[in-house]
Amino acid sequence: MIHYLNRLGLFLLLLATIMWGLSVIAPYYYGNPIYLEKFTYLEDSNGHNLVFMGSSRTLRQLNPVVVDSVIPEMSQSFNLGAGGTFGLQVLYTAEHLLLNSKYFPSLEVLVVEIQLPQPILDINMHTPRSKYFLDQKRYETGANFIRAYYPDEIADTYIQNFRSSRVERILNIGLVRAQLYSLIPRRGMGHFLGERGDGFVPLDDELPKRSYVERRAEFVDNLEHYRENFEQIRKNEDMIVPRDVGELYIQAHLDLITIGETRDVKVVFALMPSGFNVQQNGSRSIFERIPANNRIDVGSYQKWPWLYDTSNYFDRGHLNEGGANKFSRALALELRLLMNQKTVN
């Protein structure tokens, strides 16, 4: 019996060592397949000095070619957006990116989309992408946000999901495959690099894939309904009351600015259009707490009238390629203005 227990103990020790080793040598972005594709490419293409990070609203709407034409001095921009990647994940990856100059040794400006964390829903539990970013800081920040943002009965469920995912992250449960995948050379990658290898993939380029055809058809079939939604947003924009997102989540944004300063990188947070049915009260509260020197607003329906013109949209939440080019130009103009301004106290 003692001999059996000794062998079992040695086996468990070996297993723990292997799993710990994988978690150490795997890149910080291993749980996100789009990041994995883009960072793999960037190992051989790292002269970019302006980088954009965010969700699908970055991936699908920010065209580096347009940005570079407006800001020629920042002529090597790259779209590091990844669909389905929300606040905590972006802040986690952005922090590690700033602390690791391997991929962007020439980085001067990092533009980060302002967005909220995504609660870990039951359907997404136990998947690598739902927890690879949950270090202790991100876990505490996420739990604090949920407690502040959601009613107690909903918050309790979401926090439990965060807690369970954090334990799985510590024990490396369900992550080995993703970590191994990140360390093995892959073929057939490149879709999310876009045609020019700058990371921009407009939704128009996804046609005629069935799911995107269906999204487009749903939008066209309900166009009048969405026009009415636009009109309501336009009328009520001034009445949006910022909503509490928790102090730790605000601080995480300020921390990223500080880390950027230590690396001589200017971190700029961008308030972007949130689509038809998504209120901006949480995003607005973040925007208002960020120093004026580190924020731009390209989400105002009053400042940018074409944002409530449905002809610029592919579906109910994303611009089409024409709208994306307009948006990219607007963001570049705001960014150029910010970069040319003197420090605001």
Domain boundaries, the chain: 2-340
Reported as a pLDDT band with limits 50, 70 and 90, residue 149 is: very high
Whether the per-residue pLDDT at 139 is higher than 80: the answer is yes
**Considering only the top CATH level, what class is 2-340?**
alpha beta
- Coil, helix or strand at residue 274: coil
Among the listed residues 86, 307, 92, 40, the one whose alpha carbon sits nearest the alpha carbon of residue 199: 40
Mean pLDDT for 275-289 is 73
* pTM score over 0.85: yes
Note whether 272 and 299 are within 8 A (CB): yes
Note whether 159 and 2 are within 8 A (CB): no
Reported as a pLDDT band with limits 50, 70 and 90, residue 255 is: very high
CA dihedral sign, ordered 272, 274, 279, 282: negative
Mean pLDDT for 121-129 is 89
Counting Cα atoms < 13 Å in the Cβ hemisphere of 321 gives: 10
Distance CA(95)–CA(198), nearest Å, equals: 21
Whether the per-residue pLDDT at 276 is higher than 70: the answer is no
Note whether 59 and 211 are within 8 A (CB): no
Distance CA(50)–CA(75), nearest Å, equals: 8
